[in-house]
Structures are given as C-alpha cells and as structure tokens.
Structure 1
Amino acid sequence: MRKIIIAITGATGSIYGTRLLEILQTVDDVETHLILSNAGALTAQYELNMDKQELMSLADVTHHPKDIGASISSGSFITDGMVIAPCSMKTLGSIANGIADNLVSRAADVILKERRKLILMVRETPLNLVHLRNMTTLSEMGAVIAPPVPAFYIQPKSIDDIVNHSVGRILDTLDISNVDYVARWQGLSK
C-alpha cells in the first residue's frame, strides 16, 4: 500500500487538494493521510462550501495540524511522498527555513530529510523576492515546486478541466497512473 500525505493550507485553491483526495480514493493501492490546517478548513468552507468533516471524510487517515507526535512526523513512517495543495506562502517559508512548528511543516521537513517526494502547489501572485528565494531553497533541497498553472493547449471547457489537468500533473510526479485526468500533448497538427 502506497502512503501519500496531502496537506491543505489556507491559500486559495483548496479545490486542488480536495480533487487530489477524490481521485486517490479511486486508486486501490494508495492510502491517503490528510493534514487540514485551520485556515485550510476555512478556505475550503468558503470556496467549496465543504465543512471540515466532509473534507476529512475524503482521506483514509486524518491528522490534527497540531499533532507533532503523529505517525507522519517520523522518518520511520514510510511514505511515497507529500503534496501540499494549496501551499500558502507562510507554509512555504516555514518549510524553507526549517520551522517545524505544526504537523504540515514537520511532515514536510521529514519528507525532505528522508529524500522523498515533496510537491508544493504554491498559490500566490505576484511573487516577491522572499517567495522566489524560498522556492529556490526548497527546489535545491529536492522539493518540486508545482504552481497550478492552467494549460490552455487542452482547450478547457470548464474549471474542472483546468483543475483535473493540474492535479493530473501532480499524480504524474507521484508516479500514479492518471490517464483520464491529463490531456497529453500530441504536437501541432500540420
């Protein structure tokens, strides 16, 4: 059983973490571990009209964001990676600077030290120099910086098309087959 940690923080874009959980529910050999920050729960309520319990029901295992002693806070707990979707700039800065003061940043710190996949769907625009430096620092540590940037070559018909494509690319990075979610570039027709 593959174990994937999903963290949803307070940045806009809670649909990304939610959609990732929905899709991973359909994958038989994946167990999801959710960390939902308090701000993430508020944002999901506002953006998706989903309450905390409804969102938590999408995960196999949930962890309280203040539970620094949770199983996923140790490198001895084997995971196949962690996705923070969306990743706020506060969370980005905490991870980049080794401030493991909650379970999201502690679990991310563990993922980095164990050289596992850490994928950050950072959500902010425009970016200032601190944001860029924090992203560079984490990229140099091996994290994947994956802002949810729309791919218009897929000729999206809906927001769902855009979200599914972005989440599908995250699944690609986790080496999880997702043929139904990513429109693959076929080249320009002549």
Structure 2
Amino acid sequence: MIKLLHIQSSPNLTNSVTRILSDEFVAQWRASHPETEVETLDLALDPIPHWGPDAIGGFMAKDGERTPEGQAAVDLSEKLIRQVEDAKILVIACPMYNMSMPTQLKSWVDHLTRAGRTFRFTGQGQYKGLIWNKKAFVILSRGGDYSQPPASASDFQEPLLRANLGLIGITDVTFIRAEGQRLQEAPSYIAKARETIAWVAG
C-alpha cells in the first residue's frame, strides 16, 4: 500500500486551477497505482493557526515545561509531521499569491519545519533534513508567465517551496506549472500542465 498525501491550499473553492489540476493528478495516479491510499489535507477548509507567541514558546520550551497553549501547538506540529512521514507521495497544490505561496500553505510549512525534529544543524550554515524517501509533486498556478527572465526574478513561489521542502529532506520534487492564467494564452498553459500530469501520474 502506498500512501499519498494531497495538500490543497487555495482559498478559492470554486474555480481554482490548482484544485482542479491536483484533483486530476490524484485521480490519474490512483488509476495507474490502484494500491494507493489517499489522504487529503485542505488548508483552506481546515486552516492551521499561524505562528504566534504560544507556538514559539511551545517549540522553544522543554518537555514538561510548556504552557497548555504551547503544548497544543507542538501537538499540532507533530500531527502534521507524522502525516508527511506516513506518506510516500506528496501532491501539493499551490497558487501564486503576491509572488509567493498562500498564507495557508506557509503556516503548514512553518509547523512542519522544526529544528531537531525534521532537520538538524550540522555546522555553521549547514543542515540535514530528517524526512527521507519521499516524492513530491507540486502543482503551481500563476497569473503571469514567470518561466523566463525578467519575470522569473519575481518568482518567490517555486524557489521558496523547493528550499522549504529541501530543508526537511524532501529533495525529489517535480513542479508542474500552469503559467499565465490571466493571459490570453491561459488555455494552452493548462493543456501543457495536463500533458505533464498525464506523463508523470499515468
């Protein structure tokens, strides 16, 4: 049995490109890998609290010295980490908001990234991820085309996700991009993304 964790992050529940394409990806993956068990984490419908004083205090305190609020933050982080550890495949749906990722997804990343738990420092400016043997597929959508300079210099969506996943040890990542969703060429970009999905999920 292969476990796939499907992460939705768009607060647009009606016509989100990343929701549509990631659902199609998961459907095609299940058709070609019928032994797959799918778990869905919808960060828009079930949002994760943003980091605040309770979370910071909880993560910094030792076991047995946390406030109830701090312990709750650590417990939530542990639950989210175990979801990822239990999965073999991650499918992350991420629209571009203001050149980066939605705040819902950033909160998930923050709870997932814990020194000593999902990565450890090995030296000055060096680290080692502690979550291994995962394959991630990230479905991206952007209003413009950020595939080439000079627009690519304003893309903080894909590089940030690649760095965050790499920090915790997930380095086998395939990005599937639906560029130009506010451009006249949007249908051709979606068609190209669907071709890629059929290739890698089939």
> What TM-score results when the alignment is normalised by the length of structure 2?
0.48
Partner of residue 38, structure 2: 32
CA offsets, 1:76-134, max 9 Å, x none? 953212110245413698389x512xxxx67xx96x63122233222223451533642
* SS, match of residue 148 in structure 1: strand
* Higher RCO by CA contacts (8 Å cutoff, separation 6 or greater): 2
Note if 1:130 corresponds to 2:156.
Answer: yes
Q: Of 73, 85, 101, which aligns to 2:81?
A: 73
Q: Look up the equivalent residue of 1:120 and give its one-letter code.
A: V
1:90 maps to 2:102? yes
> 1:139 deviation in Å?
6.9
Quickly say closer, same or farther: Cα 1:23–1:4, change in 2 above 3 A. Answer: same
Contact 1:87 1:120 in 2 (8 A): no
Instruction: Point out the more displaced range, 123-132 or 9-18.
Output: 123-132
- Secondary structure at the aligned position of 2:39 is classed as strand
Per-residue CA deviations over 1:59-85 (Å, capped at 9, x if unaligned) read xxxxx4449378653179532121102
Which letter does structure 2 place at the counterpart of 1:23?
Q
Higher strand share: 2
Structure 1 unaligned blocks of 5 or more:
42-63, 151-156, 172-177, 179-190
The reply to whether residue 99 of structure 1 matches residue 105 of structure 2 is no
Contact 1:135–1:145 (8 Å) recurs in 2? no
Report the residue type matching 2:135 in the other structure.
K
Q: What are the within-5 Å matches in structure 2 for residues 26-65 of structure 1? A: 26=31, 27-38=33-44, 64-65=46-47
Identity %: 10
Root-mean-square deviation (CA, aligned residues, Å) is 4.3
**Stretch moving more, 75-84 or 136-145:** 136-145
- Deviation at residue 169 of structure 1 after TM alignment: 3.9
CA distance in 2, matches of 1:160, 1:132: 17
* Number of aligned positions between the proteins: 135
Letter in 2 for 1:113: L
- Counterparts of 1:160-175 in structure 2, within 5 Å, are 162-171=192-201
Q: Is the 8 Å Cα contact of residues 6 and 39 (structure 2) preserved in structure 1?
A: yes
Counterpart for residue 146 of structure 1: 175
